Amino acid sequence: DSGVTQTPKHLITATGQRVTLRCSPRSGDLSVYWYQQSLDQGLQFLIHYYNGEERAKGNILERFSAQQFPDLHSELNLSSLELGDSALYFCASSARQGPYEQYFGPGTRLTVT
Amino acid sequence: AQSVTQPDIHITVSEGASLELRCNYSYGATPYLFWYVQSPGQGLQLLLKYFSGDTLVQGIKGFEAEFKRSQSSFNLRKPSVHWSDAAEYFCAVGAYNQGGKLIFGQGTELSVKP
C-alpha cells in the first residue's frame, strides 16, 4: 500500500459526459502528479501540482482540467468524454518538487461507452 | 527530448533463473532513474531509484540495477526469479526541468515458467 488513495476504482460512463477523479496523496506529500495509461500511448504525464499550484503540464487535453485543494487532495476533471479517453488514470505523490521518487495510487479505470 | 526505451516487450524466464531487463535512456543531464513494477489491475510500485553515487543500486524484492553512463543504460537484474515476480516492469527517468514528471518506457512484461 503506497498510501495514495484514488476514487472511484472503476467508472463507466457515456460519450459526452463529464467525470471527476479524486486523489489523496500520502500524508505530508505536497506534490501530486496525474498520469494516463493506455494500450497505445503507454504511461503519459498529464499534469503536476505542488502545494495547490500548477507546476507543469504534459499531454493533457483542453477537455481535461485538474486542481489541488488546500487539504492537498486533487481532482482530475474530464469532460466531453470520447471513446479514446478510456484508460487507467493514476495519481502519484511525492514529498518534494523535482524528479524524485513518486508513489502511485491504485488508479481509476475509466470506460467510455 | 528525453526518452526511455525498453527493447523487450515480453520476456519469459524459468522460475529460479536469473533475470535482466534492459532500459536505455536519452537525457542531457545526470538522470534520475527508476524502476517500477505493475501487477495486473494494480498501481505502480517503486522497486528502486538512482540519483547519484554508487552505480549499483539495491531495491526491494531482491532486485538491483546498474547505471552505466557510457551506455546510457539502467538495467534491472535479479539472480533468481520467483513466480510472484510475473508482472510488467517500467523504467522511468525523472525530468528535472519539467516539474519532475516521470518519462516511462513502454514496459516489459515478464512471464515466469514453473
Give pLDDT tens digits for A20-52: 999 999 999 999 999 999 988 999 999 999 999
Nearest of B109, B69, B74 to residue B91 by alpha carbon: B74
Average pLDDT, chain A: 95
Using the Cβ of B94 and the Cβ atoms of chain A, whether some distance falls under 8 Å is answered with yes
* Confidence category of residue A1, pLDDT binned at 50, 70, 90: confident
Q: Collect all residues of chain A within an 8 Å Cβ-Cβ radius of residue B99.
A: 48, 50, 55-56, 97
CA distances from B79 to A4, A75, B20, B31, B91 (A): 31, 41, 9, 25, 19
Nearest of A50, A44, A105, A62 to residue B45 by alpha carbon: A105
Q: Collect all residues of chain A within an 8 Å Cβ-Cβ radius of residue B103.
A: 45
What does the pLDDT look like over B73-113, one tens digit per residue? 999 999 999 999 999 999 999 877 777 889 999 999 999 99
Using the Cβ of A22 and the Cβ atoms of chain B, whether some distance falls under 8 Å is answered with no
Q: Is the pLDDT of residue B1 over 80?
A: no
| Grid coordinates of A110 | 475509466
